[in-house]
Amino acid sequence: MSAVIAAWRIVREAGVQTLRTLPRSGWPIAVLLAVQFIWSFVAVPLFMATRVGLLLGIVEALLLGWYLSLVEPLVHGRPKLTLSDVRGAFGSRFGEVIGILFAFWLPSFALQLLAPGLLPIASVLAAVLFNPVPELVYLSRNQSFALLGEAASFTQENWPEWFAAQLVPLLAVGGLAIAFGMAPGLDLAAHVAGMFGPWWGFALGGVGLNLQDGPIAAVGACLGAVFVHAVMVYRGRVYVQLAATNRRGRAWRERMK
């Protein structure tokens, strides 16, 4: 019981700290919207025209590293970010993200050739096992396969607390997906699992921004970006607290209070 109370305390504290962070998150949210716009209306059309996968991967790594570098100081309690922080963050974490993309590309390419039917199932399993990859991009010193190993170890040790802490946002994503016509099944599971995790759904079109759909769609995209950013900061804070202790230590500390 003390372990459950300790986990609840982590969730509550992370939630309160995240709410306090949102009023000073204007720049990261603007960058997240810019990332979604560049990805949807520049990077993907450019790839469709040129079919240069390496170029797409470079752009993907630049955009993801840019946004995650701005999440990091908020997770660590930085009071405010400035335009100088936004400019300085561009190009940051490029090596970490490109290493992850390469580490995932190898088995994905092999499955596509040898057993394409297993690819959707493998994608869901990878999204679960390596779920804290976005947080480790800016919190870990490891890269590529070593970073994936660290993410898997964390998930195996903390999966009840980690996924329980994300239950509300994951249910929200699933509910919206069903409301927009996605039927329950493997595709829905893949969408929910890929939203907040190593498939970068939160940044690469997870919300979507299409200014051509009018002002209502633009407002919806902005609200979606606020939601996504809040979840990413919240995840970072939960990760930091879970990684600092183990379940037994948290339960023991709770009994001592």
User: Quick check: 36 and 205 in contact, CB under 8 A?
Assistant: yes
- pLDDT score of 60: 95
Contacts of 54 (CB under 8 A, 6+ apart): none
Q: Closest Cα to residue 196, out of 158, 230, 223?
A: 230
- pLDDT score of 251: 60
Contacts of 4 (CB under 8 A, 6+ apart): none
More confidently predicted of 211 and 52? 52
Query: Would the pLDDT of 214 be above 70?
Result: no
Instruction: Please give the average per-residue pLDDT across 87-102, as a whole number.
Output: 94
- pLDDT score of 210: 53
Residue 229, class by beta-carbon neighbours within 10 Å (0-12 exposed, 13-18 middle, 19+ buried)? Answer: buried
> In the chain, what are the domain boundaries?
2-255
Average pLDDT value for the chain: 88
Query: Would the pLDDT of 99 be above 60?
Result: yes
Give the angle 203-209-215 at the CA atoms, nearest 5°: 150
- pLDDT score of 101: 95
- pLDDT score of 28: 95
Q: Closest Cα to residue 29, out of 203, 235, 200?
A: 203
- CA–CA distance, 141 with 125 (Å, rounded to integer): 24
Query: Would the pLDDT of 208 be above 60?
Result: no
- pLDDT score of 257: 60
Query: Would the pLDDT of 204 be above 60?
Result: yes
Query: Would the pLDDT of 209 be above 60?
Result: no
Phi, psi of 117, deg, nearest 5: -65, -25
User: Quick check: 26 and 225 in contact, CB under 8 A?
Assistant: no
Phi, psi of 91, deg, nearest 5: 95, -15
Please write the tens of the pLDDT for every residue from 132-168.
999 999 999 999 999 999 999 999 999 999 999 999 8
- pLDDT score of 116: 86
- CA–CA distance, 234 with 245 (Å, rounded to integer): 18
% of the chain beyond a pLDDT of 90: 53
Query: Would the pLDDT of 128 be above 90?
Result: yes
Please write the tens of the pLDDT for every residue from 8-36.
888 999 999 999 999 989 999 999 999 98
- pLDDT score of 249: 67
- pLDDT score of 152: 97
Residue 217, class by beta-carbon neighbours within 10 Å (0-12 exposed, 13-18 middle, 19+ buried)? Answer: middle
- pLDDT score of 176: 82
